[in-house]
Amino acid sequence: MDVVVPQLAEGAETATVVTILVKAGASVAKDQPIAELETAKAIGQIPAPAAGKVEKIYVKVGDELSVGQKILSLSGEKGEENVIASPLRRAKQSQKVNNEIASSLRDAPRNDKSHSDEGSGTLISPRKASPLGYLPQIGFPAPAAPSVRRMAQDSGIDLAQVRGSERGGRITLGDLRNYVQQLQKGAFESGNDDISQQSQIPSGPAPQAPPIDFSKWGKVTRQPLTPLRRTVSQRMSDSWATIPHVTQFDEVDLAAILTLRKKQEAEFKKKGVHLTLTPFLLTALVKTLKKFPVFNSSLEPDGKNLVLKHYINLGIAVDTGEGLIVPVIKNADKKSLFDLAKELEELALKARKRKVNAEELDGGTFTVSNQGGIGGGHFTPIIYKPQVAILGVGRARKKPVIIGEKMEIRMMLPVTLSYDHRVIDGADAARFMVYLAGEIERGGRRGKD
């Protein structure tokens, strides 16, 4: 039996082989880990679906794999294939899937290389082989991020006609844009503005400028991006390209929070928790989000409805050295200052070790990016799609401040709010920041547990 890459965490479609834990010829037990795969979110183990002997290993460390791609083959018991069985085998066994495949192929555009399946009357366009074998030909979706699929769906484009430029035929936003440009160019040259006649336009990315040879001016080193860095890059590009960002700046007096922290620091330390300023900021943020629920919402892809969430799950951006990971504190509005401090510390440690699981990364409603421990002042954070706002926090510094008729030296915290201007107006963002600043300056939602 073949052991293949299982369905990965939400939003992850590829994984990189980190470790192969068995050798060809070795015997393995059911559920014994056979390999470790790294996605953009975490590193996870792949268990053997059954006991048997390793016949052949098809991958090596560093390979990037897609869902359904073979890792190794086992001889012996068939095991429980319902967990990680081949998607191709499952498709063949499901009449419902076959009906859907036939339906999706029936409307495929005809071209010179297409051939007809006389039994069903469908048209099948041959495609370049991919790591998934013939999966695209039987109706499985082309490898592409959810954001790319949504954009293609909104534009009425069949991704099966777009040739991906990344490994395994993965389709990027750039590939999709190039394809649309080719459709428009072809329609213009033929005098026909109906770009739905896709069969007349060649698929694939448009010709690109030759790469720059930087070595002409000196020594260079090429360093491959990690899977996490590539995913962060893709998501940031998608968010920036599709969300109209506006950023609001402010500074907040930390006098009250510093006083409360000093009073409670020793008590928290006895319980094994380091009390930082962040839990106080989170308590103030929770109350502010309750006051302005639109900041705790998401805009549906069609832009017709706003989803207001009656729970507050705060994503906390963590710097791992390889890129940002955003674990989520669930139901933050129901947790005490101590609970927030404890969970924040645990999640940050797990994120840096790449040990967070999919459940701890999903479901965020609002994100906080705190650079205070590193330094810097105001910055413009990019919204974590599909959220509509993100709070950036810089390093607090002592500054002269006018208090009444006197000038005093206070610790001032730079804060920034980036928001989706399709959903939030500038006036509402200003009110949000004023209210948040007031809550922080009063010490947050709870002064003491």
Active site residues: 421
From 18, 4, 6, select the one nearest 57 (Cα to Cα). Answer: 4
Residue 415 φ then ψ, to 5°: -130, 145
CA distances from 261 to 122, 242, 275, 393, 394 (A): 69, 40, 7, 18, 18
Torsional sign, CA 68, 71, 76, 77:
negative
From 236, 384, 370, select the one nearest 298 (Cα to Cα). Answer: 384
Note whether 67 and 13 are within 8 A (CB).
yes
Torsional sign, CA 126, 128, 131, 136:
negative
The tokens describing 222, both together, are: 């090429």
Lookup result for tokens 């076959």 = 98
The tokens describing 143, both together, are: 């490898």
Amino acid at 8: L
Angle (deg, nearest 10), helices 227-242 and 173-189: 50
Instruction: Tell me whether the omega of the peptide bond preceding residue 386 falls within 30 degrees of 0, making it cis.
Output: yes
Lookup result for tokens 């006036």 = 427
C-alpha 378: how far from chain center: 25
